[in-house]
Amino acid sequence: MEAEGLLTRRRDPANRRVHLVELTDDGEAAFHRMRGAAQEFDRTLRAGIDADEIALLERLLDRMRANVAGPAGTPAEPTNPSTRD
């Protein structure tokens, strides 16, 4: 992305171990184009699905994520337990 002129990278003068990364004007423009495309795709995905169905899907996906995130096959707690059944 740096070679394509979308971002710049430089060392932090206060801490040479840190890189400061910033979008260029071209990078900002690309971000806004991609964000618009992502939002449009999200609207397409959610077409015909109501808010309750989306909430159910989010709860189920949280549970599935927790199932694979737990130590040694033990389901882990979801990051937002209030959404758990």
* Residue pLDDT, tens place only, 28-82: 999 999 999 999 999 999 999 999 999 999 999 999 999 898 775 565 565 565 5
- Whether 41 and 13 map to the same domain: the answer is yes
pTM of the model: 0.50
CA 3, CA 34: separation in Å to the nearest integer? 19
Structural domains in the chain (count): 2
- Whether 55 and 40 map to the same domain: the answer is no
| pLDDT (0 to 100) of residue 19 | 93
| pLDDT (0 to 100) of residue 69 | 87
- Whether 36 and 57 map to the same domain: the answer is no
- Whether 7 and 43 map to the same domain: the answer is yes
| pLDDT (0 to 100) of residue 70 | 74
Please give the full DSSP string across 61-81, using - where no structure is assigned.
Answer: HHHHHHHHHSGGGPPPPPS-G
- Whether 58 and 77 map to the same domain: the answer is yes
- Whether 38 and 58 map to the same domain: the answer is no
- Residue 19 is part of which domain span? 1-47
- Structure-token pair, residue 8: 């710049």
Give the H or E element holding residue 13.
none
